[in-house]
Structure 1
Amino acid sequence: MIRWIWAFLDRPADRFDAAFAFWSAVTGTQLSERRGARGEFATLIPPAGDAYLRAQAVGGPGGTHLDLDVDDLAAARRHALDLGAETVTDHQGWSYLRSPQGQAFCLTTEDGREIPPPIAGPGGTLSRLDQVTLDIAPGGYDREVTFWAALTGWELLPGSEPEFVRLTPPSGLPLRILLQRLDADRPSTAHPDIACTDIEAVASWHETYGARRVSRGAHWIVMNDPTGAVYCLTPRDPRTGSLPA
């Protein structure tokens, strides 16, 4: 059973400070002291509730990956491998794996209890990073959907557009997973999504911290953070995750 879920924001080591000055500001969190052999890890600590966002300094352009906290690590490893995952490395207390289409994720043995509330931006606009989207090439999309649904055991529901399906976690977990079918074959990636009561106001607010608008979707805005990493602003209610009527 998945008892907590983390979004790891992986950013270039030489841009780490700029990246997490931004992410701390727009998520209303405080960056912990850095840890790890090279100071490559940190946690984004909310003022209330339990942390579910982490920072990692990496050698390349970076991206996003999920950590799934489980009750029984050995059983979760076996389950993931049976479903088609590949082990990259095993460690005491956690494993680094890749999904059938190459999406990085980790199985870990930590946990949280309370989802942090949304934060208020200028004018009282609310937002919360509440979703990670897995961007999947069309050739492997069906297999990847089957893999993630079986791995999590979460309810699989249609998304707001034909190219999306979503995995909705049980009550008490801080992140949903959205699976997006891309238009062309390319390596799998992932990006975070932020639910907003007003996406235009939040986009303008983020721009004051160095973000940049990239494009507008059907009902979302694609953004780049100060390192060029992609994320999206969506009109879901940050308190409930539901779309406006």
Structure 2
Amino acid sequence: MSDERTVPHGSDSRVAALGAVVFDAPDHHAAARFWRELTGGTVDRAADDWVSVVTPDGWGLDFQPAPDLVPPQWPGQDHPQQLHLDLRVPDVAAATTRAVALGATVLRENPGWTTLADPAGHPFDLCHAPDNDGLTVMGVTFDVPDASAAAAFWSRLLGEPVVHDSDGTAMLGGQRALLFQQVEGYTAPRWPDPAFPQQVHLDLVIGEEGLDVAEAAALDAGATRLPGNEDTFRVFADPAGHPFCLCTS
């Protein structure tokens, strides 16, 4: 029998809410264009150093320049993927053909889903959802050494319930699902080490309590402070080494 645990609700309070999934890319304008066309999203903001796309189902996908990005080399663990998007589509074959036409590369075909890489090398999955009306974002999946521990940390940070925890995978509920898959030989990001940089990270939006209070709560939950201190954001790593930002907006 599998050891499956379901937690009916998250913590009584949350440190922050998920704001956006942020991709590092050598050409962030090209990366944003690919994801906008793939998802049918709209550009919310475009600047020399940032492009924000909002998908039709409300996910924020942001893109920042990283000229020296070391791209994922999936499925190996020398420079592995760190986290990726899972997308629901009614027809995996048709969606794959369209993604390839936009510049994606097929990495592996599996029963029920296909793994591809975007033009910057970030893997993503197209998952079969026959009743889906077009393409939607299912969630963000983290590679981690311990799925249960990762889910517990992010549940405390976001105040969302752990709705699945079994056999090396875990999942948070809420409107923006986070998933965690246990990886043998896990290699963590070492940001800001340029040899092992972040590839994708989450921007989390705090409430009116301010950055000092949010930082204290994040550290108490198990986060580690990283370099990067601006008036509007601070940088941290989760216990598995994934960078994330606490932002005022």
TM-score interval, normalised by the smaller of the two chains: 0.3 to 0.5
State the TM-score, normalized to the length of structure 2: 0.45
Q: Which has the higher contact order (CA 8 A, sep 6+)?
A: 2
State the TM-score, normalized to the length of structure 1: 0.45
